[in-house]
Amino acid sequence: MDLLDQVFLSNRSWAQGMVKNNKDYFKNLSLTQVPKYLWIGCSDSRVPETEITGSKAGEIFVHRNIANLVHDDDPSLLSVLKYAVDYLKVEHIVVCGHLNCGGVKAAFDGLEDEHLGDWIADIKSSYMSNKDDLSEIVSNTDKINRLAELSVVKQVEKLSSMKVVKDAWGRGQHLHIHGWMFDISTGELNSLKELSPEKRVWAI
C-alpha cells in the first residue's frame, strides 16, 4: 500500500471512530463553525495547531505560512484576518512561532532565493535591527531561537497596526493579539506578548 492509500484508509478509520463516539458529529460539524481564535502559525509539519493545543475540528481558524509572518500585502493573510475578525468575530489572534524554525534559520544564514528569500526578508530586517543584542548570544542555535521570538513579537505589533484590527478595536470589539512560541523539544507553548484594546503589554 502506498502512502496516499494509507492516508485514505486512516481517514475512513477516523471518520468511523468519530461517528461511533457521537453519531451526529459530522452532521453538527457541517452546520457551522465557531472557532475560538485565529491561529497564524508556521507551515512546519511539527507544529500542528489542533494537536498541540488539544483542540478539535471547528475550534481554530488557521493561517499558516513559512515562519508565521504577517505581510500587509499578502492577500491570503488579509482575507483570513478579515473573515476571522469581521465575520467569525474571534476574540483572540495568536501568532505562534517555534524553536528550531527552518525559515528563521534560512534568514539568519542569509538565504537568497527568488521566492523564499523574498518571503523571509522581514526576518532579515529583524536580525539587522537587533544585531547588537543578538551578538551577545554565543551559540548560533540560541541566536536563531531568539530571532524567532523577536520576529513573533514584531508580527504581533504589525497586526495591531493593520486596518482590520484597528477598526475592530475602534468599534469596541473584544480582540486580543498574542505572541506565542512552541518548543519542539518539550512540546510546550509559552507566551511572549499580548496586545489588547487596553494596550496592556507583557513583553519578554
By C-beta, is 60 or 101 nearer to Zn ion?
101
Residue 44 catalytic?
yes
> Do residues 27 and 55 touch, judged by C-beta distance below 8 A?
no
Residue 98 is a catalytic residue: yes
- List 71, 74, 96, 101, catalytic entry: 101
115 is catalytic: no
What is the rounded CA–CA span in Å between residue 173 and residue 94?
16
Contact 99, 184 (CB under 8 A): yes
In whole angstroms, the minimum distance from the beta carbon of 181 to Zn ion comes to 11
Instruction: Give whichever of 44 and 122 is closer to Zn ion, judged by the CB atom.
Output: 44
Residues that bind Zn ion (CB under 5 A): 42, 44, 101, 103
Element (H, E) at 191: strand 188-195
Q: If you write DSSP's letter for every residue of 125-146 in order, what string do you get? A: HHHHHTHHHHHT--SHHHHHHH
Provide, rounded to whole angstroms, the least separation between the CB of residue 180 and Zn ion: 13
Is 42 a known active-site residue? yes
**Position 83: which residue type?**
Y
Cβ proximity to Zn ion, 42 vs 94, nearer residue: 42
Q: Is 174 a catalytic residue?
A: no
Residues involved in catalysis = 42, 44, 46, 98, 101
